């Protein structure tokens, strides 16, 4: 079929270093594919994988899967790692309806994590770890995470727990390393699991909850009608924000982890050419500023397609200029060569957020005496800028045009 690309038999996937990974439950292996759909490598699973993955995530070192357990109504999250070209299960979390006294209907899982490298080598018996991306001590005094370092020169990984940040900015309270690792080795911190649960005691509402991996309990609930039937989500971090990104209909929405609210959204094009049918997005992943959406129905160049496998479509995530508006006050002034109108330009991105520090060009078609006082200007932190038009000497309708260019 035209426009097939990775051709996944299962919809749950993740992206690592430009490759697409998915767990084949029928063949009991982790499969690595390139963007053309060719299999680059397969990793046999040293365990029984179980039922088909509902969600697959990657934390920089480990893979995580959400699956139905063997008992109906129970779910399980497993952590997997590639070692010596084999895929090993390293950890699991069970969501048991009977033990937890809760009816689960888990539909998507995201892994809150933080990736970096070692700023200096680690020796055996070390109790602190210096990392290249600093953690603010005041914000992370009670920082708790599962930390995985590796591999070292012998192919060894080590998983430990971090229960705080030391005054010198290193991590490590109650940490005790068993192996040595070189400077620059990959390191991952996983703090929480974020789960979309389609069961709610309140009719018409879905639930997003966070699960503390160190203490093994649900520590936060967010209940809202806007998060029902969510099957595609992923963790997403900017330089100053942490989000759980999820798809609701034709919108990609962002739940702000710190503020505990849906912060922003953008419109996706997962709809047929007639605009009457929404194509389900089964899973998402964000990598290098690009959203990868897994679908088996797509629209290209005005033609609708159905695919026998699941394939990706891309959407840009990094902010880009999406709109510019020009306000003029007053709109009518004398053609005396001295009167002035104030020009207010507002530039926004695809999230309807201000586009900061973008170059705006302004021109007019008045006679030789009318002109724009500041024809080239940068938007400020609020996405706006001011200029002025000084009138010419010929009575006429004057067209003023503002254009914006994004260089970053």
How high is the pLDDT of residue 393? 92
Query: Could you tell me the pLDDT band of residue 137, with boundaries at 50, 70 and 90?
Result: very low
Among 242, 252, 181, smallest CA distance to 210 is for 242
How high is the pLDDT of residue 168? 66
Among 15, 40, 10, smallest CA distance to 25 is for 10
How high is the pLDDT of residue 142? 53
Among 104, 197, 193, 109, smallest CA distance to 146 is for 193
Reply yes or no on whether the pLDDT at 116 is more than 90: no
Model confidence over 174-202: pLDDT tens digits? 678 899 999 999 989 898 999 999 886 66
Reply yes or no on whether the pLDDT at 138 is more than 50: no
Model confidence over 72-86: pLDDT tens digits? 889 999 999 999 999
Domains of the chain and any CATH numbers: 14-113+191-316 (2.120.10), 321-405 (2.60.40.10)
Instruction: Report d(CA 195, CA 106) in Å as an integer.
Output: 7
Query: Could you tell me the pLDDT band of residue 140, with boundaries at 50, 70 and 90?
Result: very low
Choose between 163 and 180: higher pLDDT.
Answer: 180
Reply yes or no on whether the pLDDT at 229 is more than 80: yes
| 232 close to 211: Cβ distance less than 8 angstroms | no
């Amino acid at each position: 079929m035209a426009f097939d690309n990775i051709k996944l038999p299962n919809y749950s996937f993740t992206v690592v270093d430009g490759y697409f990974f998915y767990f084949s439950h029928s063949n009991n292996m982790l499969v690595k594919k390139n963007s053309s759909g060719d299999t680059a490598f397969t990793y046999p699973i040293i365990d029984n994988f179980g039922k088909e993955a509902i969600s697959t995530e990657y934390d920089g070192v480990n893979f995580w899967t959400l699956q139905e357990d063997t008992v109906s109504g129970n779910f399980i999250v497993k952590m997997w790692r590639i070692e010596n070209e084999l895929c090993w299960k390293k950890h699991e979390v069970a969501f048991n309806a009977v033990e937890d006294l809760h009816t689960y209907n888990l539909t998507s899982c995201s892994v809150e994590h933080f990736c970096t490298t070692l700023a200096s080598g680690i020796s055996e018996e070390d109790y602190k770890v210096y990392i290249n991306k600093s953690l603010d001590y005041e914000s992370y005094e009670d920082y708790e995470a599962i930390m995985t370092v590796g591999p070292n020169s012998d192919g060894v990984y080590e998983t430990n727990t971090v229960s705080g940040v030391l005054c010198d900015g290193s991590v490590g309270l109650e940490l005790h390393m068993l192996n040595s690792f070189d400077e620059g080795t990959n390191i991952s911190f996983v703090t929480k699991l974020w789960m979309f649960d389609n069961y709610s005691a309140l009719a018409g509402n879905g639930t997003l909850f966070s699960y503390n991996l160190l203490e093994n309990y649900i520590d936060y609930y967010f209940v809202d009608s806007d998060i029902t039937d969510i099957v595609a989500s992923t963790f997403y971090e900017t330089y100053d924000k942490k989000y759980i990104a999820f798809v609701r209909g034709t919108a990609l929405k962002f739940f702000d982890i710190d503020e505990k609210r849906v912060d922003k959204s953008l419109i996706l094009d997962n709809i047929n050419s007639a605009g009457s049918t929404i194509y389900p997005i089964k899973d998402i992943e964000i990598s290098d500023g690009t959203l990868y959406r897994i679908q088996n129905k797509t629209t290209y160049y005005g033609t609708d397609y159905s695919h026998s496998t699941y394939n990706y479509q891309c959407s840009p995530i990094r902010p880009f200029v999406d709109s510019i508006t020009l306000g003029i006050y007053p709109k009518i002034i004398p053609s005396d060569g001295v009167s002035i109108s104030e020009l207010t330009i507002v530039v926004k991105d695809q999230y309807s957020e201000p586009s900061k520090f973008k170059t705006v060009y302004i021109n007019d078609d008045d006679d030789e005496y009318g002109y724009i006082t500041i024809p080239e200007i940068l938007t400020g932190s609020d996405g706006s800028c001011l200029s002025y038009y000084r009138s010419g000497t010929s009575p006429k309708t004057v067209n003023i045009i503002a254009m914006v260019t994004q260089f970053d």
